[in-house]
Structure formats: C-alpha cells, structure tokens
Structure 1
Amino acid sequence: MESFITEKQFWTGIILLIRNYNAVNKKIFACVVHKVLKVHKGIKHTLNTCDSQLYCDQLFGIGTIKDTSVSEKSEADLIHVLRSVVENKNLEECEGFLIFYKFLTKKLQKNIEAVGKIDLLNKSYTCRFMLCDDLDDFAVQFVDNHLTVVILTQRDVGDKSKRWSDFILKPKLMKWSTSASLENVYSVDEEKYTKSLQLVDLEEYNELYKLLKSKYAEKFLNIWNNAKESTDPLKFIYEDLAIAAYLICLWHRVGLPIGFADLGCGNGLLVHLLSEEGFNGYGYDVRRRKIWDYYTHSTRLIEQTIEPLTFKLPEDVDWVIGNHSDELSPWIPFLSASHRYQMRYFLLPCCAYEFSGAKFQRRNTSISIYQDFYSYLNNISQSCGFITLKDRLKIPSTKRLALVGIERSYESNLNEKQMQHIAKFVKEERIKYRNNISVVDVKLREPHEKVRNCTQINKTIIDTLILKIFHQLLSPENNTIKTNNAERGKWRSGIRLPMRDIAQNLAKSDLKSIKAECGGIKTLLRNKHEIFEFHCGDLIGIRKPKAFVSQGNRQTIKKRSCFFHMHHPDGCPLSAEICTFIH
C-alpha cells in the first residue's frame, strides 16, 4: 500500500529533486540553475505557454512575459517561498516559479537545456527538456496526500520510461520526502548544506573530466595491467582523473601554480596526470611503486621519507597537495604555512592521524570519526593562518571532503610572528597526542610495508579456519537450491550469518593467528571469494559455484582443486568440464 505524505514533505522532496536530478538519472552529472523567475499572477497561462521559444527568450533576457507578472529571483528566494508554503505563511501573491537549467551530461556530447515549473496553486512540479530525445519530460503532483508522477514526453516512450518513472523517480522522491531533514533542505547556510564542487565552475569541470577520461582512462588501464599493480585500477584511475580535473579548474580560477608537490603520492598517478597536462611538479613517497617505471620521464617521482620538521620543498613549488596522505595529512597546512607566505595547499584527507604519527584520538564523539578529523584539520589550517575553504568532490570514494588554503588571515609583515604561533601550536599537539616512541619524535610509515592481508599465515591454520566457518554456514537448518544438473538434484546452499556470530563461534586460539592482520576474519573471507560471499554488507553466505565463460579471463581457470568437490557433502553442483576448478 502506498504511503501517505504531507504537503510539507512533498515540497521537501521537490527541492531535493531540483538540486539532485542526477541522483535519478545516470546520464546527468549535475545541473546548473541559470535563472529563477517568480510568477506573481497568471500561473496557468504562464505555464501553458512555456515552450522552447519562451525558454530561450527568458534565458537570454528578451522577455515575452509581461514585466508585471514575473520578477527575477535567486535559488535562495525560491527556497524561502517554499518554506513559507509548508509553514502556511503568506505567499505574497506568488503563484509559482520558472527555473531555467543547464543539465551537464556524463557521456553525451552536448549539455541539455531545461525548464522547471513550480505551480503552487496546483501543487505540482514539471520539467521539460529542450531539443532532447535522451531524457523524458515529467510532472510530479501532490494529490490527496499522495505523490503522482506522469511522463509528459510526446514521443513513443515505451516501457523503459514507465519503469524509470515507477521504479526510480517515484521511489527516490518518496524517500527524499519522508526522510530528509526540513532544516537542512531549506537552509541556505553552507555549513548545513554543502554542495559538491563549489570552488570550481561545474561546466568547465565536467567538460575537462570527460576530456581527461577520453585521453587517459584506457591508456592507464593498460599501464596498470602491465605493471601488475594489485590495487583496483577502476577506483584509482577515475578518482585521480576527477581530482586532476578539479585541481586544474581550481588553478584556472585562482591562478596557475609555479609548481606543485604531492606529498605521499603513492602510485604517482595524479602527479603523472598533472605533468602530462603541462604542470610542473613533484611527487614524494616513502616507497617506490612498480607503476612508476611506466610513466614518462617528465613525471618526477621521488622515493623519500618526509620528515615534517626538516623537509624542504623545492623553490619552484607554490602548491602542496595531500591526496589521501594519511600520516602527513595534519602536516600539510603546517608545511605550506612554514615554507613561505605565498604557498597554498589542497588536502583531501582519508585515514586519520595525529601530528605524532599516532592514530587520531577523537575530539567530538557526537559525529563520525571522519567528520571529527576533518573538523580538526580545519582547525589546524586556521591555526596555521589560512582562510580555509571547504569543498566536496565527486569521486568514487566515501572520503571526498577537501580543504583548500589559498589566502592567509594575516598580512605578510606578520609572517614571522605567525610562524612562532604555529610552532607552539604543533608542539603542544604533539605532546598532548603523542605516539609510543617519545614525546617529540614523529612516527612515520616504514619504507618497507609489512604484508598484513592474511596471506602470510601458515596454510594449515588458514585451511582449518575456512572449514570451521564453512561448516557453521552449512548448518542443519540449511537451504537448498536447484541445480542445472539433473543427476545432482538439489544442492545445499547453507545459511547466512553476521560476521559477529561467525567470530563468536570460533575459539580464541583460532583467531590468535589472524588478530594482527588487516581486516582479520573479514579479509580472510574476502580472500576466499570462490567459497564465501558477502550479502547486505556484513552477512556471510556460501557462494554457489558458477561455470566459467569460454571467452572470459582464463588466467585462474583449472589452477586449483575445487573446494566444494572436496568438502561439500553434495559435492560440486557443476560438472568437471564446466567448473572453474579441478575435480
């Protein structure tokens, strides 16, 4: 049965839809509001005559609607009026709004112009796309405490548009309407509502990101494969392409750098990208990566431990980059401030550490540790004398909040005094939140990383643990599934258990060997993905074997014995000919 919603909830959902249409259509990267017109009277006539010609006239200021019937407003004015609507305040003879958009596309060659129409009298919102066959016009209306969605496109839209309306647009609107916080949705306070990519031009960024993807994505995938890097290329490549596009757009806005230094550059891909795009720079990391050998000579990557108190940046550097710089993250504003007055920085933090190199200790337990660390880095930046800017990037990562220091909060003639303040602040923090070595030392990452992924444990111990967990899941209260092999009939697939239950059912002696490994039991089970699979985050089940595809990747086919053939009471549900493993 369909849920009821209130008018307040309806307009809350509409505001989120206006801001986040890209959340219901994967073809769209973001939308830019060009103009907002407030309709004082004649909303029915205005909306009925809002065709493509009217859109162009209004967008470029020609004006075919009488001046007395509309007035130009801002997005904040629109939000203010809608908040008045839901709070039953006087509407001041406002009947609706026209919103003129540009929708930025992800893969389509051209961006798309559109007009949104808010009709306060009929409690509806419509959106029409101009000269576009890739997106469907639609209308959303509040009727008898229900939300209705109708496709308005005149062409034969078929079942695909209906499915999009019924299973994507409407459910998303219902979720926004019933779960969003009214204060956050209607607030114009940037601290409460942080838009993505505020510090760059959205259209420029989107076009540059698409260009960089077309130039480098396939090339870097090949480099990754040739270098035999163990990390996920899709995540790192597209993330660093997005960060490179962001930095270039930011530099176009605030001034091009003389040079940059990426501290803790890891695989060096961001340094390589920026160098290939003509920017002078360096990358520093405590360990050399295999993939470094595959970059061009113009990519300057240096294997060096960064000792924050003694490290000197090259003289031709005026931007410091900290991209998931881990132990160095709290030091990025310090290094920038202490180098010279003109130095600027970009910091995208990930793992949380203190100045001492110890794990970050919580300051505010009422928020997440990531938000707490981000807030602390902002405090460090301000203490270092930066007017600190905040932004949210669009990257394939949950850690996407950035800090940018471009200008100082003090004049250059006060720089020496400010350096004394910064040194005192850092010293006090290092003493208060020290590591286990000493009060003053900075504990940084070792040049040679210890392998901690459950691959260095004795194989007998691993095999014993795997069998114990397998038999937990294959309990008497198991499920059965049909197989394609008529001779085998049904094959027991077992039950699903939370990670906590699995750990509790193992003896302490079983867990001792993997207690120090990164991820522990979870890493062990992920490494055995041919046996186990994860459901809904933390539920573990037995994976049903799948036949290999002849045209697929054959590197791992017929290399190891089939676990199910050896240990499952029903054997393997696949025949020896089509099973990926040896029977």
Structure 2
Amino acid sequence: IFSDVYNGTVTFLPLEKNNEGKYQIKKCNIYQIQLTHIKDEEWSVSIVAPFPEDWFSDGIAYPKLSWLGNELLSKLAKWSVEQKPSEFKSTLSLISVAKYSKVYQELKEKYKAMVKVWPEVTDPEKFVYEDVAIATYLLILWEEERKEKELTKKQSFVDLGCGNGLLVHILNNEGHSGRGIDVRRRKIWDMYGPETHLEESTIMPGDSHLFPDTDWLIGNHSDELTPWIPVIAARSSYSCCYFVLPCCFFDFHGKYSRRQSKKTQYREYLDFVAQVGFVCGFHVEEDCLRIPSTKRVCLIGKSRTYPPTDCAVIDKQITQYINNRQTCAAVTCDGRVGFNHKEHSGGVCKETDSELPENETAGTIWMPGFQPREKVEQIRNCASLPRDFVDYVVLSVANLLLNATPQKSCSNMHSGDRNTWNQGESLSLKEVAEHLNKETLKRLKSEYGGLQTLLKNNHQVFEVLNGRVHIRDWRKEKPSRKNKPDVKRRLSAEAFKTRLCWFFIHHPDGCSLPSESCPYAHGTEELRQSQIIKKKKHI
C-alpha cells in the first residue's frame, strides 16, 4: 500500500508469489483511492482501476470491480462523515493478520480447482473462497491454542450442519480429524474422497448428540442449531470448545423474535447467541472474519468461567435459561401439550403428537417440538412460481417503470433508430411494491426474498442495484471478460438464442440491440434448441 498524503491518494498494489517464490505485482488488480478537496468543506472521493479490462476477481482478496464502484465507494463516503463507533470488532482481531494473509493465499492456491468443478447451483467463487477463509481462520486459531496449552496433537472437530462439506474437507486435509453432519447429502460430497468424513443425519439437541471426545464444535451458518451449539459443547465435555458463525436468526424453539428496537436485528441476535455462551459457562469472544458476506461475525467459546466441579450447577442454569426462552409454555400450551420434567428438559413444552427421528426417544430430547431442517429442501426462491404469475409481475413492474417517466419521442426499434430507446425510470423496491395488489404481494412474501428475488431472477429484464429497480439496457452490458471461468463461458455460449427476447416482444420500442448482438431470440425463427437441456437428459 502506497500512501501519498500530499496528493490525497492511496494506491493498492497486490503482490503474489511466482513459482520461484518471489513476489510480483499483479498489475491487473491495481487500484487507487483518491480524496480531492473541491471547496470549503466539500470533498470528493474516487476509485480508479487503471486496467479494468483485465481485472481478476476471486470474491475474497480480489473483489469484483463493480463492487469497488457500487459498494465500496458509497461506503467510503459514508464512513468519512459518520461519527458513530462501530458496533462490531475490527476484522481478524483475535489472530495475526499477517499469518492469516499468508495461510489464506496458500490455501486459496491449493483449493482453487474446486471452483472449476463445483457441482452445486450455488456461486462457486463465493462459497469456495469463503470456506477457504473460514478454514484459514480456524487453523490459525487452533495453532495458537496448541501453543497456549502446549498441545502436540491437532484438534478434532465436528461441523454441525456442514452443508456442502468443503470446510470439513479442507480441515481434514490439513491434518485435523473430524467430521461434518448435515440432514441432507450434497452432490459435491462424492467428490471429496474417503479421507473427508461426512454424515447424512438429523441432529436433534439431546443426550444422543453429545461429542465427549471432540475438541471443537463448529456452526458455520448452522441456522436452527446455532443457539444450541454452545449448549451441546458445554454438555459434551468440560474441554469442548465451539465456533459459530451466525447467519439466519433462530432461537431454541424456532425463529428468533426481536426484543430490542434500539439495536439492529443482527447485533441483537449476536448478543443473544453470546449470552447463550455465557450462560453455558464460556468466556465468549467475538471477531469479524474476512469473508464476502454481510454476516461475518463469529463467536468463540474456548475456555470456561467455572471449575469442573461446578458442571452440575451450570447444567441446571442452562436448563432454566432454555425454559425461560420457551414462550409456548406460558402462551400457547393447551390440552394437547404436556411437560417433560426429565433431565435437561424440565418445564419445556412437549407436543404429545410430535414425531421424533428414528433412534430418538422423548427422554433424550432437550426440547421436544424442536424443528430440525427439512431433509428435502423446499424451493422457495420464486423459481417454482407459476410461469403466468411471474410473467404478470414482470410485465406489471416493467410497465410501471416505463410509465414512471414521460414517454420520449422514440422511433420504432425495429426500424433501426435506437438512440431514443425508452429505459424508463428507476424506483425503489418499496415504491414498486406499493403499486402491486395485496394478493400478489402475499404470494411473493411466501418466497425467500420475495419481490426482489423474482426481479433478480428475471435479470434479462431488470437490474436491481442498491435497493432500486431499473429496466436493463443491454447496450450498456460489458462483454464477457476473458478471464471468465470456463464453465460460465461455456454455459453462456450454450444458452445463446435459446430464449425469446422479452424486449423484442413486450417493450414499446422493441429491443435496444440489433438481432445479431442480442443473446436472446428476436422471434421464434431465431430460437435454438438448448444444449444444456440435452446434456441433462443424458446424465
């Protein structure tokens, strides 16, 4: 990093090791932040990337170029004028940043091939490099722990709700014995090999899911298991530690309900999960990870606040705390509900007709009625909505945007004049929602992401940036970068002209692009059979 105070610039020069172990500047990813004084108290901040056409993004160390302009620039402007202290710890406050950077680069290079073979529908760059970053953090944290406690053997672990299992795969490969457990098997599990230990099983908080021989429990976006992980760690053994990275907000018995309006929901939930750790007798530490996610605060419990002789006292304290969180006992219990007073579950509501997973009995479950993740994942990302309903919403929103601004005198696009093509106005998601009827909104709210997800799914027509909806102008779309992953480049080529152009059919000015430049078909005569569908049939 080069700082030029006189000219108000900070230049970032990324360094990477070559095959000879020497550092070289990665020229394509140089960028500069400049602060310029306009007049009086007016300043401007800008970001310049001298080689935008060659920019490389891995989602972690090298963000997308659009992120620098659309996200970072606005954040810099905001941070420059706001005076409130941050409600979170600084990034990587519990470990050495220098060591983290070194290990991360090594692991990124070691596991980068996973991006090319990623079989899941999720974004490979985000998930691969995020798990590499989390693994890096844990490896350094555990290395420091071994030094502090003078341990020679590497720590063992269990990842509860391990998802794609990549974190488990990396930790196993780096010499840590452990396994991942998830209610649903993923396609990528078959690619890891026998050295990676993954189990498909439902986890019910109870006596049958304790891990007395495990050093660390991991909850990486573990959803409904998140508040239970400190409890499971505390009851597994006195030496068991935990690491949780909360994402979705869950209480012990279901969705988390806000109790304080003065905090953000995220901050309030983190405080709740930290409080669970304190009640379980842990010294709870908080840190921010360096990952491409808005939910990047982790909570760590690696030491106890009580001596081993007080385990029974702490256990009763945990039970009482869980019971106090369970509001159904005071609010919704009726004749169908009884109470289970057995160990770990005194006073907890028990639905007498609730089903338990195989090999579980009511006496071993700490909270009967706990709802684990469903084995078959429900598709609620608007992809399963009826096509006619989606088409109706798309057309309604498009007409709303087109009519929100006075119609320009525009020639018909089919005649070739595209200089007056009407892109319409941009509106906030809230403004768009206000123009849709209640029945439509109700149907959208049953899907994850609702209206925003539906509009983003229809990216041929819309662009959603910073909470505002725009009609997409394909003339402004940049051509594919030459360093675009082979898989994405191949899929783009295979999808060319396999769908009709929405603008050609519905936009009053037609498509903004000539037929030969548009990736979509201008009429049925241009339609190609999808090669992607053909391949799926042969799998």
TM-score, normalised to structure 2, is 0.72
Alignment of 1:155-166 (within 5 A): none
CA-to-aligned-CA distance 1:352-410 (integer Å, 9 cap, x gap): 11101x11112322010110011111111010001111111111111111111111111
Match of 2:206 in 1: 309
Worse-superposed segment, 481-490 or 307-316: 481-490
Distance (whole Å) between structure 2 residues aligned to residue 363 and residue 147 of structure 1: 41
Is the CA contact (8 Å cut-off) linking 2:31 and 2:49 kept in structure 1? no
Residue 197 in 1 paired to residue 54 in 2? no
Q: Output the CA distance in 1 between the equivalents of 2:373 and 2:506.
A: 42
| Post-superposition CA distance 1:173-226 (Å, at most 9, x none) | 986554334xx49xxxxxx77222122122211100010011112x111221xx
Aligned twin of 1:379? 275
The whole-number CA distance in structure 2 between the counterparts of 1:555 and 1:431 is 54
Name the structure 1 match of 2:136: 245
Partner of 1:466: 394
* Structure 1 segment 86-125 matched on structure 2, within 5 A: none
For residue 188 of structure 2, give the secondary structure of its aligned residue in structure 1.
Answer: helix
Which stretch of the first structure deviates more once superposed, 523-532 or 413-422? 413-422
Counterpart secondary structure, 2:179: strand
Q: Summarize the alignment of residues 38-53 of structure 1 with structure 2, pairs less than 5 Å apart.
A: none
Shift of 1:545: 2.5
Q: Give the aligned partner of residue 214 of structure 1.
A: 109
Change in CA separation of 1:300 and 1:492 when aligned onto 2, cut-off 3 Å: same
Cα distance in 2 between the residues matched to 1:507 and 1:139: 46
Q: 1:305 to 1:203 in 2, by over 3 A?
A: same
Give 5+ residue unaligned stretches, structure 1. 1-16, 29-104, 113-133, 150-157, 162-166, 186-191
Tell me whether 1:448 sits opposite 2:345 in the alignment: no
Give per-residue Cα distances to partners, 1:1-46, cap 9 Å, x unaligned. xxxxxxxxxxxxxxxx99xxxx955447xxxxxxxxxxxxxxxxxx
Matches within 5 A, 1:113-512: 178-181=81-84, 184=85, 194-217=89-112, 219-224=113-118, 227=119, 229-255=120-146, 257-356=154-253, 358-431=254-327, 439-440=349-350, 441-475=369-403, 477-478=406-407, 486-512=416-442
Partner Cα separation in structure 2 for residue 340 and residue 528 of structure 1: 50
**Pair 1:541 & 2:462 matched:** no
In the alignment, what sits opposite 1:562?
501
Aligned counterparts of 1:471 and 1:137: Cα–Cα separation in 2: 40
SS of match in other structure, 1:490: coil
Structure 2: state its 5+ residue gaps. Answer: 52-68, 147-152, 338-348, 351-368, 483-488, 523-539
Say if 1:470 and 1:173 are closer, same or farther in 2 by CA, change over 3 A: closer
Shift of 1:485: 8.6
Query: For 1:533, what is the secondary structure of its paired residue?
Result: strand
- Structure 2 residue 434 is the aligned partner of structure 1 residue 517: no
Do the aligned partners of residues 413 and 485 (structure 1) sit closer, same or farther apart at CA in structure 2, a change above 3 Å counting?
farther
Q: In structure 1, what is the Cα distance between the partners aligned to 2:100 and 2:233?
A: 26
Which stretch has the larger CA shift, 565-574 or 500-509? 500-509
Residues 51-70 of structure 1: matches in 2 within 5 Å? none
* Structure 1 SS opposite 2:92: coil
8 Å CA contact 1:470–1:542 kept in 2: the answer is yes
Distance 1:450-1:137 versus aligned 2 partners, 3 A rule: closer
Letter aligned with residue 524 of structure 1: L
Relative to structure 1, is the Cα distance of residues 431 and 470 closer, same or farther in structure 2, using a 3 angstrom cutoff? Answer: closer
Q: Give the whole-Å Cα distance in 2 for the aligned partners of 1:428 and 1:285.
A: 28
> Matched residues in 2 for 1:266 and 1:305: separation?
12
CA distance in 2 between partners of 1:462 and 1:288 (Å): 31
Paired with 2:407 and 2:285, the residues of 1 have a C-alpha distance of: 55
Shift of 1:424: 2.2
Q: What RMSD in Å do the two structures reach over aligned CA positions?
A: 3.9
Query: Contact 1:480/1:494 (CA < 8 Å) preserved in 2?
Result: no
Distance 1:365 1:195 in 2: 24
SS for the counterpart of 2:302 is strand
Q: Is the 8 A contact 1:264 1:322 kept in 2?
A: yes
What is the CA–CA distance in structure 2 between the aligned matches of 1:382 and 1:202, rounded to whole Å? 27
Mapped partners of 2:408, 2:283: distance in 1: 60
Equivalent position of 1:35 in the other structure = none
**Alignment partners' CA distance in 2, 1:263 and 1:351:** 15
- Distance change in 2, residues 1:572/1:107 (3 Å): farther
CA distance in 2, matches of 1:564, 1:173: 37
Whether the aligned pair in 2 keeps the contact of 1:478 and 1:495 (CA below 8 Å) is no
Distance 1:328 1:172, change over 3 A: closer
Q: Give aligned pairs, total.
A: 438
Q: Distance in 1 between matches of 2:385 and 2:80?
A: 51
2: distance between equivalents of 1:344 and 1:379?
16
TM-score by length of 1: 0.67
Q: Distance in 2 between matches of 1:434 and 1:257?
A: 46
In structure 2, distance between residues paired with 1:302 and 1:327: 18
Q: Structure 1 counterpart of 2:83, which letter?
A: A
> Which amino acid is the alignment partner of residue 269 of structure 1?
L
How far is the alpha carbon of 1:313 from its aligned partner? 3.8
TM-aligned CA deviation for residue 523 of structure 1: 1.3
Contact 1:478 1:493 in 2 (8 A): no
SS in 1 for 2:326: helix
Whether the 8 Å contact between 2:10 and 2:34 is mirrored in structure 1 is no
Task: Find the aligned partners of 2:479 and 2:74 in 1 and give their Cα distance.
Answer: 36
**1:479/1:328 Cα in 2 relative to 1: closer, same or farther (>3 Å)?**
farther
Shift, 1:456, TM fit: 1.6
Q: CA deviation at 1:525?
A: 0.7
Over the matched positions of the two proteins, sequence identity in percent amounts to 36
Tell me how far apart the structure 2 counterparts of residues 172 and 560 of structure 1 sit (CA, whole Å): 38
Instruction: Tell me, in whole angstroms, the C-alpha distance in 2 between the residues paired with 1:503 and 1:204.
Output: 48
Pair 453,479 (structure 1): closer, same or farther in 2 beyond 3 Å: farther
